[in-house]
Amino acid sequence: MLPLLLLLLPAAHGIAQLDYRPALTTEPVLEGVRTTSTFVVDQPRCVFQDYGNAVIWLVVALEQAASTFNNSQRPGTPETAFQGFPEPVRAYMTLNATLGSYPCPKPDGDIAVLRVGSETSCTGDVTRPTCNGPLPTPGPYRVKFLALEGSEPVAETRWSTPITLITAKPLSSISTAGRGHSADMIAITTILSILLAILLAGLVAMLFFWGSDSCGGSSTFSKPESVTVRRYNTHHVYDQPAARL
């Protein structure tokens, strides 16, 4: 009985149920489709064509909280603020856009995706409750698009299937053994390292001996002193002709 009431509740408020389910994109993106704090979904192109005056919001919820999300909640309130997610807020609203942001059909070359969790500057900024901040846990999460005209919900899509983020492995779980390297590869690497060490040692020795030879050679040669030969006559010998010269 309760599931039936949950299905009838949106119809009682006049919310159109659109036959569209958000999903992880299959388009090539610069980063991974799923990371440790983000994931990428396709934009809802050609989904809200009958709601030109609406603002389209993305609702991000913990998997267990998706079925109890109340469409009458308003974006930007403490009940739907990113800064309170995942406790006590179990679902928040972000990435608001008008229909003009989702042209139909998609122009050639357009990257028609949304990265959930890509804003880091507003994570703790309570003045930006609709921040598209990094997701705090691996999840799983569910998302849907909700169209509001003014403060009234007018249309919504289905919830996505559960989306779980990549979990980073702890450093202690990473094996330091040489897994993937064969014994032959290890032996070759060792031999090359030894040969390189011998080559470097030989090069250093050659440079050392060359330096020693250069220094020794320069010390064995000295500039010869100039020799001055004086001509003189003894005091008791007179060479008259030579004297006159």
Tell me the per-residue pLDDT of 172-203, one tens digit each, with 9 for 90 and over.
655 555 555 566 777 788 888 898 889 888 88
pLDDT for residue 202: 83
DSSP element (H, E) containing 16:
strand 16-17
Average pLDDT over residues 56-68: 97
Residues in contact with 118: Cβ distance below 8 Å, sequence separation at least 6, in sequence order:
38, 132, 134
Predicted pLDDT of residue 8: 45
Q: What is the pLDDT of residue 134?
A: 98
**Whose structure tokens read 């020795």?**
205
Q: What's the pLDDT at 7?
A: 45
pLDDT value of residue 206: 83
Q: Does the pLDDT value for residue 215 go beyond 50?
A: yes
Query: Contact 38/117 with Cβ under 8 angstroms?
Result: yes
Cα angle for residues 22, 25, 31 (degrees, 5° grid): 135
Confidence of residue 228 (pLDDT cuts 50, 70, 90): low
Q: What is the pLDDT of residue 244?
A: 47
33 neighbors 24 (Cβ within 8 angstroms) = yes
Contact 195, 64 (CB under 8 A): no
Tell me the backbone φ, ψ of residue 154, rounded to 5 degrees: -120, -25
Say how far apart CA 44 and CA 59 lie, in whole Å: 13
55: which 2 tokens?
Answer: 């603002």
The pLDDT of residue 9: 47
Single-letter code of the amino acid located at 219 = S
Contact 166, 34 (CB under 8 A): yes
b/e burial code for range 79-104 (CB count within 10 A of at least 16 → b): bbbbbebbeebbbbbbbbbebeebee
**Which of the pair, 206 or 20, is modelled with greater confidence?**
20
How confident is residue 29, by pLDDT bands cut at 50, 70 and 90?
A: confident
Q: How confident is the model at residue 14 (pLDDT cuts 50, 70, 90)?
A: confident
Q: Into which CATH architecture does domain 2-168 fall?
A: Sandwich (2.60)
d(CA 233, CA 157): 132
Per-residue pLDDT at 110 exceeds 90: no
Q: Which two tokens stand for residue 229?
A: 């030969």
* Contact (Cβ atoms closer than 8 angstroms) between residue 144 and residue 48: no
The pLDDT assigned to 144 comes to 98
Dig out the tokens for 194 from the structure. Answer: 């030894």
In this predicted model, which residue has the larger pLDDT, 79 or 6? 79
Mean pLDDT of 218-241: 50
